Structure 1
């Protein structure tokens, strides 16, 4: 991988390079680019070699890394709401969660909100959706679909059932078809079959190719049983060193809530821990945590290995058939994932490993290959960018903006200097408090406001998750700020919110967050209790 992409420098170079055509110019002369959008579930950037994390030495993703060497890697790509269904809704609509109304896992995207597919149709593209959809509705705006069925859209790892538009005699949701084998292999097979036999080869195509892996519970194909078996997985520094991280909102006063907030690797959490799940008990708590971490990561990375191997199959086909040089290829995850950092599992958090999404793009028309860029982007920006690369424009109803000029070596005009985040599912599933925040290139401010957005809704789907919870998990959690210096403390080890030396930084970020909430229209007018708490905190 080459050194970081300096957009300002590259813009000057591009202006001097008269013989070189711009991306837009090339697209005007060539036939339309195909677009393949590849997304895995919970595949976090620190488990991709090209991102250079502690796991890079394991070489977990050689094929994805090769894609990065031939494209552009985005270092500062962030989720607006780090949970599967909301993130996917943001990507499909180009809108924030509060705008598309998919706040949590309970809401469903409406079929008339499949904007990304609709806009590609307007550009003359054939569209297809294969793999994990997880949006609740039929992907009816696509010309073709075969999507995982069961478990609320999660599907099974082994011998999965799919719902498919191939069954013309059956309507959704009864249009099901079963397959034998592992889902990662099967999803690749279905995509290859569509590319070979079902697409209209006279038209450009937009294909969404989504894997279930490496989602919990990390059921990998049997052929990977020995992968990493005798390898020691590097441990994050913050697995054990968590003294200065967090706040009362995530730890409680004097650590009084450590046993109920944030499911853990160690035996800390009372509801779910990998020490207990993997039945580890050596008599030494620190050793138990280490062994549980090793088991967690090996299962996770075996799922990742299956994805990377299958992508080689897909890439080899594209090259063989002459599609490689006329197809934009995107690789990403639907959000990040905590891999033991701060003794946490799962996602949902605004912490870096969860909020950051891997985002790698190979544009065959771009002259800039093997670069990294630190441009701040959100998943709401994906749709506008893909549409511009296909020759279209961003619809007015989308909140996101296109950063397609990056592929010409130019930073977009008047680009954002901060990204917005909000997690709504207060103390549900992995027991994470509701929070809102802002991320700039240098700092991150998180406000844990600790309240469910609609706690009085009787019989609603969200509250049904709480029926087996202990009462103390349902109550509000403390309101608090966390401030991290991302340049000097990228692992977010020290919360600086109460540090006098950072008082002015805190004040400025509070104002920026307050202003950004107004700009994006997320001001909680319909949730008076939340509005009062958040507005008071941000004064």
Structure 2
């Protein structure tokens, strides 16, 4: 009788324990993979079918239409994702920042919940990812071919280097699959699987040479004509800075620091007509970029098939994102950094068959500080008080969010470095975007010149005009008409400025440590 009772008790308890089993989590992030280069997000490129595997992932779960980064550049975005904090709190403002090990909060919190943790691929936060149980990460940006990794257990950081052969996208996928094959499955796992691709210079695997070769890629109209876009902060007075601000597809941008900063000169020089050069440069830019994207998508197909074959698919939450967006010729701009939609917007797709119904789409405004809190709560924990981001697990469960933010804050700090983008901040709500170009680096001029480029950089990073831009996203989703000086939007601008000011105060983004910047903001706030 005693044994019958124990057997019955086991039968009762087993389903309960199975229900409480924590899900595995694979957090996949590609570098510079913008939402408009994923078929599921629609747009000019959707008919090219660049991402069939990601499209299937989205169809089987939820796609977020309004996911944004708070700084469209690799290092600070990744720091916000790992820490759940904004730059002035986590201390990583730009590419030269390094995330302190004690602020590697996401793996620490997941380990406390019983997870094994690993990161494979791009890290780009300089200091050792010591809080992961295992890591094998690229040095800095890493190489596309035959990449070298730093691996936990192979020596002391940063000398623990391991060489590999092959294209980085293939290699990173192989490494993650091998890691999963050898992993102790007795407890849940968290794997950060991070690709280098499709970061510039778009060095795709040779097998993609013929992909899109005979296709003409659709072109954004704003690459050629946009008379109402921008402000003196992005164009200069009477367009006096159009050859200086914002690297371009066309021959417009004329600075020559380190490399040709317009794509036309990089490949065609001045030997052909400017319009033809722009067209040809755009075709090359997009085809090379999309070939890298195709490599990512094909490799995700391999990874997903492995999970299905091993019976891991149903109990593994898969999250796909990019560390930011990417300008693909819109406004005649390349690279990222800008607060414009294409650079600020991130793809965010979640597969979780035990929680999320198929073909879900959310317009909730989320940002990269929310990712860690959400993953922690998916793992069964609670969002730590020190994180500034918020969990949106209710949305994943089909429930409404309570007291959610009205808009998301953005700040680009570097000012003119690399791609000649002026420093700016702003707020993006569902219907509007307000941007302030304060146009000055946070470092004093003397320290700035010494820190970045020495004497060769003196005079290049000039202070640029301090101006506002407003875009009515509901009526102008492509941001073609700056409405800041339109009297019809006066009340809306006042509301947005009040929201922006309050948000900056709440998020510790008030420039208390940067008096020169604060003086510019105060002086021009009511312009």
With the length of structure 2 as denominator, give the TM-score of the two structures: 0.94
Could you tell me how far apart the structure 2 residues matched to 1:359 and 1:373 are?
10
Matched, 1:106 2:93: no
Equivalent residue for 2:224, pick from 235, 240, 252: 240
Runs of 5+ unmatched residues, structure 1: 1-24
**CA shift at 1:259, angstroms?**
0.3
Could you tell me how far apart the structure 1 residues matched to 2:234 and 2:17 are?
49
Could you tell me how far apart the structure 1 residues matched to 2:516 and 2:448 are?
20
Could you tell me how far apart the structure 2 residues matched to 1:435 and 1:403 are?
28
SS in 2 for 1:323: coil
Matched, 1:310 2:310: no
Could you tell me how far apart the structure 2 residues matched to 1:459 and 1:501 are?
41
Matched, 1:191 2:176: yes
State the match for 2:462 in structure 1.
475
Residues 384 and 401 in structure 1, CA contact (< 8 A), matched pair in contact too: yes
**CA shift at 1:459, angstroms?**
7.1
State the match for 1:90 in structure 2.
80
Q: How far does the alpha carbon of each residue in 1:449-508 deviate from its partner, in whole angstroms, 9 at most, with x for none?
A: 0011112463787x324643362x322100000000001101000000011111111121
Equivalent residue for 1:117, pick from 92, 99, 107: 107
SS in 1 for 2:268: coil
Matched, 1:289 2:273: no
State the match for 2:396 in structure 1.
407
Equivalent residue for 1:54, pick from 44, 47, 62: 44
Q: How far does the alpha carbon of each residue in 1:490-538 deviate from its partner, in whole angstroms, 9 at most, with x for none?
A: 1000000011111111121111111111111211111111112112333
State the match for 2:513 in structure 1.
526
State the match for 2:238 in structure 1.
254
Q: How far does the alpha carbon of each residue in 1:131-181 deviate from its partner, in whole angstroms, 9 at most, with x for none?
A: 0000001111111110012xxx001000110000141xx111111110111
Residues 511 and 538 in structure 1, CA contact (< 8 A), matched pair in contact too: no
Residues 83 and 372 in structure 2, CA contact (< 8 A), matched pair in contact too: yes
Residues 449 and 455 in structure 2, CA contact (< 8 A), matched pair in contact too: no
SS in 2 for 1:324: coil
State the match for 1:10 in structure 2.
none
Could you tell me how far apart the structure 1 residues matched to 2:438 and 2:18 are?
49
Residues 61 and 356 in structure 2, CA contact (< 8 A), matched pair in contact too: no
Could you tell me how far apart the structure 2 residues matched to 1:367 and 1:27 are?
21
Could you tell me how far apart the structure 2 residues matched to 1:192 and 1:223 are?
21
Residues 27 and 391 in structure 1, CA contact (< 8 A), matched pair in contact too: no
Matches within 5 A, 1:195-214: 195-197=180-182, 199-214=183-198
SS in 2 for 1:291: helix
**CA shift at 1:411, angstroms?**
2.1
Could you tell me how far apart the structure 1 residues matched to 2:522 and 2:180 are?
51
Matched, 1:501 2:488: yes
Q: How far does the alpha carbon of each residue in 1:373-427 deviate from its partner, in whole angstroms, 9 at most, with x for none?
A: 1000010000000010110000010000000011221121110110000000011
Could you tell me how far apart the structure 1 residues matched to 2:464 and 2:442 are?
13
Equivalent residue for 2:289, pick from 273, 276, 300: 300
SS in 1 for 2:314: helix
Indicate how the Cα distance of structure 1 residues 460 and 164 shifts in structure 2: closer, same or farther if over 3 A, else same. Answer: farther
RMSD: 1.5
Residues 184 and 211 in structure 1, CA contact (< 8 A), matched pair in contact too: yes
Indicate how the Cα distance of structure 1 residues 529 and 345 shifts in structure 2: closer, same or farther if over 3 A, else same. Answer: same
State the match for 2:7 in structure 1.
none
SS in 2 for 1:206: strand
State the match for 2:163 in structure 1.
178
Matched, 1:135 2:125: yes
Indicate how the Cα distance of structure 1 residues 367 and 279 shifts in structure 2: closer, same or farther if over 3 A, else same. Answer: closer
Indicate how the Cα distance of structure 1 residues 274 and 460 shifts in structure 2: closer, same or farther if over 3 A, else same. Answer: closer
Residues 280 and 292 in structure 1, CA contact (< 8 A), matched pair in contact too: no
State the match for 1:515 in structure 2.
502
Aligned length: 507
Equivalent residue for 1:336, pick from 316, 325, 341: 325
Matched, 1:79 2:78: no
Indicate how the Cα distance of structure 1 residues 27 and 228 shifts in structure 2: closer, same or farther if over 3 A, else same. Answer: farther
Could you tell me how far apart the structure 2 residues matched to 1:460 and 1:103 are?
17
Indicate how the Cα distance of structure 1 residues 386 and 27 shifts in structure 2: closer, same or farther if over 3 A, else same. Answer: farther
Equivalent residue for 1:362, pick from 348, 351, 371: 351
Could you tell me how far apart the structure 2 residues matched to 1:295 and 1:459 are?
35
Residues 405 and 412 in structure 1, CA contact (< 8 A), matched pair in contact too: yes
Matched, 1:419 2:408: yes
Matched, 1:396 2:385: yes
Runs of 5+ unmatched residues, structure 2: 1-14, 256-260
Could you tell me how far apart the structure 1 residues matched to 2:396 and 2:379 are?
13
Could you tell me how far apart the structure 1 residues matched to 2:38 and 2:23 are?
26
Residues 428 and 434 in structure 2, CA contact (< 8 A), matched pair in contact too: yes
Matches within 5 A, 1:346-357: 346-357=335-346
Please say which of residues 253-262 and 408-417 is displaced more in the overlay: 408-417
Could you tell me how far apart the structure 2 residues matched to 1:223 and 1:117 are?
36
Indicate how the Cα distance of structure 1 residues 519 and 27 shifts in structure 2: closer, same or farther if over 3 A, else same. Answer: farther
Could you tell me how far apart the structure 2 residues matched to 1:390 and 1:38 are?
16
**CA shift at 1:369, angstroms?**
1.7
With the length of structure 1 as denominator, give the TM-score of the two structures: 0.92
Residues 80 and 378 in structure 1, CA contact (< 8 A), matched pair in contact too: yes
